[in-house]
Amino acid sequence: MNQIAAGEVVDRPAAALKELLENSLDAGARSVSVDLSEGGVRRMRVADDGAGIEQDDLPLAVARFATSKIATIEDLERAATLGFRGEALASIGAVARLAIVSRRTDAKHAYRIACEAGEVSAVEPAALAAGTTVEVEDLYFNTPARRKFLKSEATEYARCEEAFTRIALSRPEVAFALTHNGRRSAHMPPEGARERAARLLGDDFAASAVAVDSQGARARLAGLIAAPGFTRANRDAQFLYVNGRFVRDKVAAHAIREAYADVLHHDRHPAYVLFLEIDPALVDVNVHPAKSEVRFRDSSAVHQFVFHTLSRALATPGVHQKPGTDPGFPPGGKLGSVPGFAQAGFAMAQPVAAYASMFETAVADERRAVPVAAEATQSPPLGYALAQLHGVYVLAQNAAGLVMVDMHAAHERIVYEGLKEALDATTLPSQPLLVPISVTATPEEIEQAAAGRVELETLGFDVAASGPRELLIRAVPALLADLDAPGLLRSVLREMGEFGASRVLVERRNELLSTMACHAAVRANRALTVAEMNALLRQMERTEFAGSCNHGRPTWVQFPMADLDRLFMRGR
């Protein structure tokens, strides 16, 4: 095989490792161990306990375009396994010293084949208990140009570790081990998805993550997403798999970001491990040689499916953030480390009908300010108010114990969701411009504007072509009249083209509403009556996203009785 082409397929050690790991999984391995030396360049060994390779098939395994995974052209379309082009081993063998030892379960012993710079050896008997062991030595020894592109040992190793993590995260039922230069850096038994995520992304992520699972007509999205309070300063905890394969996909990434837009501070990033299973006929995985990108036949449907699934999950009141770091209560932060000391989810996700005065229900609640203990078991999720602390927190008693509410943050969220809800129900009010604005536009933009006319109108825009390269804006969304209309229109048209729908406007509008809500919400240091506090609690229970304020901070925290008891060493 041509060494230049081979270098494209395995452009660095991590790419070779990924191919070997995928082969092991395709062979049904239950346990895979990886041994690397000097960042994988000097040596890379992947041993699995999978089905193994037949003696006669060994030469085929290292031959180009030989694959055991495709029988027909339809298979190529559906490509259910990870590998399917029969290129990886041949490519590795062209630019390294490759040796494969394998034993089928029914074979009397193992066989070995080697391939060095493309020269394939004869098949010989060898010793191996079961499965397949692939060894790659001196990567790029015969292609100095490629070797020059390698980064430091530490960098190449980090990339290998990343490739390893992506695969290990996607297959928690398989055991994995990793060593580098003789030192063990990971060892994981078969386990559940949450355990595997805890191991690789941290206990904090796993403990607070919300499980999602949504079935569409021809797709399913499942996995774990971080609660808004557990976001990151960078994108390094974002794992999306399409039909089992790790990918970077901008359609899905955009949909995920949008779903978090309301609960995330703009310089924070969500963390997630998501698996999208989609009818293989609806996705093209051969866009990229490493198959790390995909193209969806209907990207707008995928965008909507992902966006709605995550929005729904995040909207559930009580999408809990474990206080962990926040409350400095009690001194020493002892409570924060008690397991189970987290907001309990409550199964109730009714949107607010419309924004109404938060004190509306005050009278009805007045009589039952503090229920007796027996009654507390049937109390509403957030319980009944007891008192107000320093004008900042509402203390309430619920079935589980003590609830503390940040009243400003909570009210802000309620006001905000109310405003949004009221506006979502109708089309955005439009404001005609006295002097229409003409904008130069590309033919695609003009076409998009014509095709999306109705949608643009519901967003408050009135736009028409006024020449082959010109659009005329005759009306703009009233709420956003002060913003840069041509810029806004371009973003909207681009999103409509790319994702089939635009949320740019809704987002801008929400930013404004969020500011309005912040000003409208009850300020700290305002004394509330018990009735007012109860009204606030009831309103929170009815509000979507009530678990966190518009800036992603938690709005309430549960202190279970058991944890309080432990503080006072009761019941031991």
Residues near ligand ADP (CB under 6 A) are 19, 23-24, 27, 48, 50-53, 61, 67-69, 83-90, 132
Contacted by 51, from Mg ion, ligand ADP, none: CB < 5 to 8 Å by type: ligand ADP
Query: Residues 47, 62, 88, 302: which binds Mg ion (CB under 5 A)?
Result: 88
Q: Based on CB atoms, which residue is closest to Mg ion, 15 or 479? A: 15
CB 544 to Mg ion: min, Å: 45
Residue 10: exposure state from Cβ atoms within 10 A (0-12, 13-18, ≥19): buried
Query: Residues 7, 39, 83, 131: which binds Mg ion (CB under 5 A)?
Result: 83
CB 202 to Mg ion: min, Å: 31
Spatial neighbors of 331 by CB under 8 A, at least 6 apart, are none
CB 320 to Mg ion: min, Å: 41
Contacted by 514, from ligand ADP, Mg ion, none: CB < 5 to 8 Å by type: none
Contacted by 85, from Mg ion, ligand ADP, none: CB < 5 to 8 Å by type: ligand ADP
Under the binding rule (CB under 5 A), the answer on residue 23 touching Mg ion is yes
CB 187 to ligand ADP: min, Å: 20
Q: Based on CB atoms, which residue is closest to Mg ion, 22 or 365? A: 22
CB 345 to ligand ADP: min, Å: 42
Answer for the pair 7, 96: CB distance below 8 angstroms, yes or no: no
Strands 238-242 and 272-278: parallel
Answer for the pair 184, 34: CB distance below 8 angstroms, yes or no: no
Contacted by 135, from ligand ADP, Mg ion, none: CB < 5 to 8 Å by type: none
Q: Based on CB atoms, which residue is closest to ligand ADP, 286 or 438? A: 286
Question: In degrees, to the nearest 5, what angle opens at C-alpha 205 toward C-alphas 24 and 552?
Answer: 140
Answer for the pair 59, 113: CB distance below 8 angstroms, yes or no: yes
Contacted by 170, from ligand ADP, Mg ion, none: CB < 5 to 8 Å by type: none
**Helix extents (H) in 47-192:** 58-61, 73-78, 88-94, 144-148, 153-170
Q: Based on CB atoms, which residue is closest to ligand ADP, 67 or 388? A: 67
Q: Based on CB atoms, which residue is closest to ligand ADP, 160 or 531? A: 160
Contacted by 86, from ligand ADP, Mg ion, none: CB < 5 to 8 Å by type: ligand ADP
Under the binding rule (CB under 5 A), the answer on residue 62 touching Mg ion is no
Distance CA 246, CA 295 (A): 13
Which is nearest to 372 in space by CA: 387, 389, 363, 384? 384
Strands 31-37 and 175-180: parallel
Q: Based on CB atoms, which residue is closest to ligand ADP, 52 or 477? A: 52
CB 32 to ligand ADP: min, Å: 9
Cα–Cα distance list, 520 to 199, 264, 409, 421 (Å): 43, 20, 11, 16
Residue of closest CB approach to ligand ADP:
83
Tokens encoding 115:
């391939």
Q: Based on CB atoms, which residue is closest to Mg ion, 68 or 181? A: 68
For the chain, helix, strand, coil in percent to 5 are 40, 25, 40
Distance CA 45, CA 36 (A): 6
Q: Based on CB atoms, which residue is closest to ligand ADP, 19 or 258? A: 19
- Indicate the DSSP class of residue 232: B
Under the binding rule (CB under 5 A), the answer on residue 172 touching Mg ion is no
